[in-house]
Every structure is written in structure tokens, then in C-alpha cells.
Amino acid sequence: MIRQCAIIFGCLAIGELIVHYTSVRLPSSIIGMLLLTLLLKLGWIKLSWVKGFSDFLVKTLPFFFVPAGVAVMLYFDMILSSFWAILVASLGSTVIVLVVTGWTHQYLRIRSKRRLVRKREKIKSTSL
């Protein structure tokens, strides 16, 4: 358990250092997660080394949303006065994200198919 905490909080600390010394405009927690993902992908860290603690964090995640929910209730009158603006912005941004995600997926699939076709053609031409 200590190793799991050390790895996860170590990645977070390195993210903090990166933000502090480079003035990157990303939250240090995001940089830490990206670093942890990279280390897992490279195989430098094994999934079993962090699985127990990460499972615990995911199970207790809803608890961390309680303060945000209380804040929403405290500012309900402010939210109600801007309800339509919030609704339009939420729906509009959701549609934009769906459209851009769909286009990106289609583009990457077409690009992947073209690469596969080129690779097959290259193999055919070298085998003849």
C-alpha cells in the first residue's frame, strides 16, 4: 500500500514540479496522470503496483463531489437567474464535443485504413 501511494503521489509531485518550473498551463494533477499513464504504457510501472490504491480512490470518488453539490445548493438563486444561459452553453458545448469527436474518429479510421492499404501494397510489391 505504501508503494502504491508513493507511485501515485510521486507522479503528482513530479507534475507539480513540471508546472512550477516550466509554467505549463495545465493542472499538475493532469500532468501527473499523463506521466503515470506513460510509465504504465512503457512498462516501467506495473499495473499491479498501483491497482489497489487506484481502486480505492475510484470507489471513494463520489465522496469528493459532496462539497461541489453543497456549493451548487448555496448558489441556487444565482444559478436560477442564469439558468437559460447555462442550459444553452451546456447543450451547445455538448453538441460541439460530439461533432468534433465524431469527425476526429472518422478521420483517424480513414487514415488508419489508408496506412493499412499502403502497407499491404508495399508488402505485395516487395514479394513480387
pLDDT tens digit sequence for 23-73:
888 899 999 999 999 999 999 999 999 999 989 988 998 888 888 888 888
**Cα–Cα distances in angstroms (integers) from residue 123 to residues 28, 109, 114, 127, in the given order:** 45, 21, 14, 6
Phi first, then psi: give them for residue 24, nearest 5 degrees.
Answer: -65, 140
And the C-alpha cell for 87? 442550459
pLDDT for 120 beyond 70? yes
Distance separating the N- and C-terminal Cα atoms of the chain:
58
Q: Give the total residue count for the chain.
A: 128
Q: What is the mean pLDDT of the chain?
A: 91
Q: pLDDT band for 121, please (50, 70, 90 cuts).
A: confident
The pLDDT, as a whole number, for residue 36 is 94
Is 36 exposed, middle or buried, given 0-12, 13-18 or 19+ CB atoms closer than 10 A?
buried
